[in-house]
Amino acid sequence: MIATRRALFALAIGGLAAVAAAPSALAQVVIQERVMPALRVEVIPPVPHPGWAWVRGHWRWAPGGWVWVAGHYVPHAVPVMPAVVVEAPPPPPGPKFFWVRGHWVWEATHWQWIRGHWVV
């Protein structure tokens, strides 16, 4: 009987220790993000020449923050901006780093995917 009580007491204490240790074992990395602002509303001017196409404005990351690239016409067809690529960020290299999600930017003749990356 005493042995049974001791065994139950030991199990109870062990269970409490396991519950107390669980939060530290499941510690999560908090990712601070530099969220891309909402797209701006642009008034599309008339086409300057037949066959020209509109490239809509978009945000592009530059050192220090997001920069708006205004929409403009180009003398060739423009494909629709592709869907966003879902990326899983790796652990931050340090506590002062912020995650910049991957995003599409227009590069002269095509959409270019800029991978997500950590910035200070």
3-class SS letters over 1-49: CHHHHHHHHHHHHHHHHHHHHHHHHCCCCCCCECCCCCCCCCCCCCCCC
Residue 21 lies in a domain: no
Least confident of 14-18, 36-40, 75-79: 14-18
DSSP code of residue 82: P
Q: Is residue 52 pLDDT above 80, yes or no?
A: yes
Token code pair at residue 117 = 């990356």
Count of Cβ atoms closer than 10 Å to residue 74 Cβ: 13
Within a domain: residue 115? yes
pTM beyond 0.85:
no
Note down the domain range covering 74. 53-119
Q: In this structure, are residues 111 and 58 in contact, taking their beta carbons and an 8 Å threshold? A: no
Structural domain contains residue 16: no
Average of per-residue pLDDT values in the chain: 81
* Residue 19, CA atoms < 13 Å, CB-side half-sphere: 6
- Give the count of domains, the chain: 1
